Chain A
Amino acid sequence: MTDALTWPLYDGGFWPALLLGLFFGLALEGAGFGSPRKLTAQFTLRDFAVFKVMFTAVLVAAGGLWLAEAAGLIGGNSVYTPTLYFWAIALGGALIGAGFALGGYCPGTSATGLASGRWDALAFIAGMVAGVWIFAGLFDAIEPFYLAAKGPKSQTLDQLLGLPTPVILIVLVAVAAIGFRVGSRIEARFGGPIGAAEVTGGPAGGDAPGGADQALGSAPNRRQRTA
């Protein structure tokens, strides 16, 4: 499209960034994603919030972008769409999944964990900085792998599959709906989902460096759940 549309504004300024980040942080903290036990419980099947929240957010934003384009508010190809580098993204995604299960966070949620008082999030962040340095030190050696199996620029699912965007969206909504139902049933069977009281009370002996207040009563509350 060559005609100049008002949207996106392409505003990279300080205040919009701070405000958008603020809503991002409120949503992550509200979802319980400051807690590494809630986050990693996705992978023990005790809590499907990671799947549910991510899938819902993807669909709300994807549906909104489609509507904005259909209404002529934004042009095609007007928002940044990443390009596939198959092997780097596959292995990078796997490293993040493994590090998430081991360390309890991903980059965004580690900031949420830190903001809600968790020292382990700070250790995770220090690890990420070290991980960036290791990657940078190895970069020359792994650059061919980093660039291998490049897909078409900014390719989307509708282009890959040759289907209209609404069809893709409807299929994704169906997958999400099934995931919500099945997930709720599975997490209930494993004693989930994990509530706020459990992760702020800590396990028996849960504590903080410097003896910060953990005086939530002495009863072990590992199995405690919010209503």
Chain B
Amino acid sequence: MNAAPRPFWPPLVAGVVLGLALLATFLITGHGLGASGFFTKAAAAIGDWTLPQATAENSYLGGYVRGGAPLAGWITWEILGLILGGLIGSLTSGRFRVQVERGPRIGVGRRLAAAFGGGILVGAGARLARGCTSGLGLSGSATLAVAGFVFLIFFFAAGFATMRLVRRNWT
């Protein structure tokens, strides 16, 4: 039996903590926080294990595997920390639950398929945009880069438009 979970942080508190972590990242590393770069490295590494020749010859992923150890790098250590932070935060607050989170009108199989399909769009989209909600939306916009704000405008517009089609998955 799980204890009742503690409430989420107020958005303003979470935003200030996230903003300070982002500011510290800029001052320490000279760049912002990111996420999709790790999954690109992971895709390159899995490609390297399963189809080494095709991966090495690929014009996009080849550069990731040429030097060996495609996973090594700053973003991998950062994502390790991110997962550790999520684990500590959810375990200490009673918010950790093993579950397939989904809306009340969708089954587990369809939810997992939708998650996989959404992941495909996000994985490809992040490579096209050269970053994701973290790297471009958050970190890019914090430098006031035009690229960050263009990303956010199209991200939110497409999110609202797509939700009109998939609302039943969530509500």
Given the contacts A11-B29, A206-B99, A213 and B1 also touching, CB distance less than 8 Å: yes
- State whether the Cβ of A57 lies closer than 8 Å to any Cβ in chain B: yes
B-side interface size class: 35 or more
Give the distance in Å from the alpha carbon of A129 to the alpha carbon of B127 in the complex: 11
A-side interface size class: 35 or more
Q: Which residues of chain A are within 8 angstroms of B9 by Cβ–Cβ distance?
A: 30-32
**Which residues from 4 to 50 on chain B have a C-beta closer than 8 Å to any C-beta of chain A?**
4-9, 11-36, 38-40, 42-44, 46-47
User: Nearest chain A CB to B101's CB is how many angstroms away?
Assistant: 5
A108 touches B163 (CB 8 A): no
> Which of B59, B79, B120 lies in contact with A131, CB distance below 8 A?
B120
The chain B residue with its CB closest to the CB of A62 is B142
User: Nearest chain B CB to A179's CB is how many angstroms away?
Assistant: 11
Kindly supply a per-residue 1/0 record for chain B positions 120-163, scoring 1 wherever the CB is within 8 Å of any chain A CB and 0 otherwise: 11111111111111111111111111111111111111111111
Given the contacts A34-B95, A206-B99, A132 and B117 also touching, CB distance less than 8 Å: no
- State whether the Cβ of A72 lies closer than 8 Å to any Cβ in chain B: no
A65 touches B142 (CB 8 A): yes
User: Nearest chain B CB to A92's CB is how many angstroms away?
Assistant: 3
Give the distance in Å from the alpha carbon of A135 to the alpha carbon of B119 in the complex: 13
Q: Which residues of A contact B (CB under 8 A)?
A: 7-12, 14, 16-32, 34-38, 40-44, 48-49, 52-62, 64-65, 68, 73-74, 78-86, 88-121, 123-137, 139-140, 142-143, 146, 151, 154-158, 160, 165, 168, 180, 195-197, 199-200, 202-210, 212-216, 222, 226-227
